[in-house]
Amino acid sequence: MYDSNYYRNQMNYYDNLIKTAEKEQAQYESLKSNLSNLNGSLPNIQLDLKDAENNFLNGGYVDNDETFDKGKIKECCTSIDIITGDISSVMGKITNKLIDLENNINDYRVQYNNANSNYNSARLKEQEN
């Protein structure tokens, strides 16, 4: 059995790991929230395309030159779909990272509690001597 200083150092070590992981976790949560907001704010281009087409067919116009370029709008649809897919992919990776961080934090807490228990036992033994 080690002396209480050894276990106190272990407790400090795991306490620092917990704090670092919790900070990282908060940063990933913020990033995930920001990406979710970004994804939600992207226009639904497919609906906009249908509205624009109907507007043009009913005598309105879409472009400044009073034309309707369905191909150009479909390019935008494809770009938005790609961006949405990329954001979803990144959000999936962030979710996995958050799960890993939560597991690490739980493991660190177990190790911290073990060190704390050992510390208390060592302190009792030291006081007996």
Q: pLDDT of 76-122, one tens digit each?
A: 777 777 888 888 899 999 999 999 999 999 999 999 999 999 999 99
CA–CA separation, 90 and 85 (whole Å):
9
Contact in structure between 68 and 56 (CB atoms under 8 Å): yes
Residue type, 30: S
The per-type count for the chain, helices as H runs and strands as E runs, is: 3, 0
Number of compact structural domains in the chain: 1
DSSP class of residue 58 equals: T
Model pTM score: 0.69
110 lies in which domain range? 4-128
> What's the N-to-C CA distance of the chain in angstroms?
14
